Structure 1
Amino acid sequence: MATTSLRPCGDYRSSYRADQTLFDTRLSMLFCVAGVVALACAPLVLSSYLLSLLIQIGYLGIAALGLNILVGFSGQISIGHAVFYGFGGFASAFLAEHGVPVPLAIILAGLWTTVVGLLFGVPAARVKGLYLAIATLAAQFILQDFFVRATWFTGGSAGAVAAPFTILGFDMSGDHRYFYVVLVFFVVLYLGASNLMRSRDGRALIAVRDHYLSAEMMGVNLTKYRTMAFGISSFYAGIAGALYAHYIGYMSVEGLDILFSIQFLAMIIIGGLGSVMGSLFGTIFMVLLPELTGALAGALQGSAIDKALHLKDGITYLREMLIGAVIILFLIFEPDGLAHRWRQIKAYWKLYPFSY
């Protein structure tokens, strides 16, 4: 009598190791590998404009992931992420100007930003809630003022010139070449964050987020892990800022204001707190939002709505209003973010037709 093997209808994991795998299924791993390969071929077929959007998604996605490690995985808050992003850009430009090779300068800028993040993280790790938000807000204004006054480091209000990215004498500037630089950093740092969450330290961060009193009773050092979260978040922000500086070729204090920090918060709220993939989803959404806003304003040009709202002149303000409206709508209708919706879609098709 022939026997047939029955496949269980559901997602059953019978061991702790199976629950901590990097990829849920072999198919998801193949999709990720295929995605990276497709991205590697993107400069061969995409225009410079589309590549610039992908590059922007890359370095902003790295910074957003760093903030998500702090906010989403360890349960803390930061309203000053933009200045750590800016510090990484200024540090890398400063090091490159003094003879450090640009690839090494980017990594050292991330480590330098980590030290600065720890300086603010040590005292901030002893407070929580509203007090922590005020502490990080203080970091925002302190470093922003430092950028204006430290002309030896940042060039002051004039800004700093960042050297082009070269490796082994090969110039990697330009959208089609620099895309690969950002892609390498993006893949390495996202894999690093995913593996961190599978480790003992990652589980400790999640325990501190879920119930810090229980975590402390189990022997988790709250101060250590809260401070570590600040350091990791700052490292990611510093790397992202350095990648931005060498892509643009210039770093300025303009734009590193609190609104930029709020945009980083919007990325992880929209994408999904406590989700590595959610950081990417939120970044894609926020990068494409201005493009869609501009396209909408162009489509409405000359209409009664355009005459009433002056869309062409107030496109910046319209974008800011949309960011606020999108955050509110996501908090009401999709509080777990786009990553949660994506998991629901995958679960639906995985269990179809028994997806109820």
Structure 2
Amino acid sequence: MEHLVNKKVKNIEISGIRKFFNLVSGIENMVSLTIGQPDFPTPEHVKEAGKRAIDQNQTTYTHNAGLLELRRAAADFYIEKYNIAYSPETETIITSGASEAIDIVFRTILEEDTEVILPGPVYPGYEPIIKLCGAKPVYADIRGNDFRFTAEVIGSYLTEQTRCIVLPYPSNPTGVSLTDQELKEIADLVEGKDIFILADEIYSELSYEKQHTSIAGFIREQTIVINGLSKSHSMTGWRIGMLFAPESITRHILKVHQYNVTCASSISQAAALEALTAGINDAEGMKAEYLKRRDYVYARLIEMGLEVVKPDGAFYFFVRIPDQKIRSFDFALDLVEKARLAVVPGSAFSDMGEGYFRLSFAYSMETLEEGLNRLETYLNNSF
């Protein structure tokens, strides 16, 4: 019966990140620096809130958009952190993770043959959904611009078919963010055009040198903001995302969300409420530790003579492979076989990631030190 499967589904693939992670899983004596999974536990008080929700039988459906109290907390979070105001009643939706938010946004705004401009390289979770919507992903090459997805770069890819620009910052896989001036220039470029900006701000609380700025502050009416608690509060498995947009957009997104999942988990919503109120600054301690790790890893990579852009946020380095004749998948596989070290080949992040590998520093300092020692030994023996 496989011949009856939707051709669009047949033509998409499992994420290259997961594909490589699964490939190396189970190999003995392996150090893995692959997955963007915070190595901190969910804060205790947040876990307790989830337990209380179970004990108090808060196990029923909620409003499709999420508990109003949680939506208020989410809206307050954006006011306090980023000075952007959204109505909790009409402009805020609690989703099953940021991934579901991306899905329902694209299914709401995209039509056949419309185009979505993405930075290349980029997180692989956008392209498959765009294609499932019958739309076309258009990769804007940012490799020669220190991985900065600026208005100057975007402008050359705009066409009459452009429906959306995806602005993921701080970026996965590069860790690069954007300045206020760069954000304003992007807003000026698209303001008044029939183009949405999808601002994926899931790493916003992990911005190191300066406070994160949301592009919604420059062009609110055309922006759909996605965020969540997976990275900021180490709640990846709780699956809580937050979506903010003008009411004229969210009222349509909510319909897709309703038929997709009805509502986010009530238990996870209770934990999220605790995270966004009593735990609103829980990310600070984690961020301080990530900053130490970033600086350590950066110093080690530079000492090895590797070409890399220092990340502004998130917890990744996107490193240029010394020998550009080697395909990134082959490099990563050789690294596994000879050094028992796993990283993600750059090709997982579009064709424009070829020639690079991604290294996650969401691991303990001890693990990072061992992994980098293995990388250094491998490079000394191979190049």
Q: Using structure 1 for the length normalisation, give the TM-score.
A: 0.30
> Which structure shows the higher helix fraction?
1
Q: Using structure 2 for the length normalisation, give the TM-score.
A: 0.28
> Which structure shows the higher strand fraction?
2
